[in-house]
Structures are given as C-alpha cells and as structure tokens.
Amino acid sequence: MSGDHHTDATTARRVRRLETLLEEKGLITGERLDEAIDAFLAESSPANGARVVARAWTDDAYRARLLADGTAAVQELGHMEGSYQRLRVVENTESVHNVIVCTLCSCYPLRLLGPSPSWYKSEAYRSRVVREPRAVLREFGLTLPDSVDVVVWDSSAETRYMVLPRRPQATEGLDEEELAALVTRNALIGTAPL
C-alpha cells in the first residue's frame, strides 16, 4: 500500500508554517521546538501500549478501567499526560476482532503505538479496511473464521483507538514484562494476532 504523498506534503507545509509563525512571534525558538518534538517522540513507542496490554491481562480491575475509560487508565501508567484526545480501548474476544483506521488522515495514538507505519497512512489501507476488512487482514496474514465478527473503528481528531488483543494461550506463568514483550504494534492496531 502506497502513501498519500499529496496529503503528507500539505501537512508538512502547514506544520512548517506554524513553526515559522511561532518563531517569528517570539513564542518559541527553533531549538526549543526541536527539543520538544524530540522529547515527545522519545516517549512514543509501541512498548508503551504493550505495557498497558500486559497490565490489563494480569489485573482484571485495571482491564475494566481501561475498557471503561482508556484515557484515565493509561494515565495511571504515565501515558497520555496532557493529551487532549480521548482514548478508547476495544477488546478482541473469541467472537469479535477489532481493527483501527483513520479514514480521513492518519489519527493514531502515537504515544502508545509509536510513529504510525506507512501503510496505516496510505489511502489504500484507509479506504479498503472499511469496505473489505477481512481481505485487508488476510493481506497482513490474519485469516479469521467466519464466526468472528470484524469491527472497524475510525479514529478522529478527538478520539483515538487501541486494540486490546486476546492474551495468547499458555502464558499464565509470564510476568508483565514478559507478556509485554509478546505484544506488537500491529496487534495493537488489530492487523496481527498474538
């Protein structure tokens, strides 16, 4: 799936113009802006989402809070502090498989999943996963039985989504760190099993 270069270029121009305005108004220096962006990205990783998932797998009370109010639950673990977006966590079960997309652009819980993969931003993924989710999932190597419903969640500027994957079998003896090591970014998006 190829990226939408026109949208990326338009966004890049807008971001650069905003940076220039902030610098011209004396609100921030270019150096300080770079430091802030670097700090933000340094704290953005799929390992954060994996730790959230591992906690949910080992702590039923936390799992319930995560599903009820994802934003508050991940803030308990030090993620999404100061974020203006709402996080909604959707749980995969034996009968339901969730997958996330942003059909308008590429809204994505960056702090929990790290920088988004290029295919997530592509027009092909954004349009097709809504129309034919099973076919797209098969392209990722994930074939689901017909008995499993596939639910596609469309992120927005206000609401981001993260999938709570099913805990793999035979992992009862693993601690949170070992469980977190099993979780992949694609599983948090819903395009891969564990």
Tell me what pLDDT residue 4 has.
40
User: The pTM is what?
Assistant: 0.79
Distance CA 99, CA 189 (A): 6
The fold of the 45-189 domain, in CATH, is Nitrile Hydratase; Chain A (3.90.330)
Q: Which residues are catalytic?
A: 102, 105-107
27-57 residue pLDDT tens: 877 777 666 655 555 567 899 999 999 999 9
Q: Is 155 annotated as a binding residue?
A: no
Exposed, middle or buried by CB within 10 Å (0-12, 13-18, 19+), for 105?
A: middle
Q: Is 127 annotated as a binding residue?
A: no
Q: How confident is the chain (194 residues) per 10-residue block, as mean pLDDT?
A: 44 70 80 64 81 98 98 90 82 98 87 89 94 97 97 93 97 96 97 92
Q: Is 107 annotated as a binding residue?
A: yes
Q: Is 83 annotated as a binding residue?
A: no
Tell me what pLDDT residue 32 has.
74
57-82 residue pLDDT tens: 999 999 999 999 999 999 999 887 66
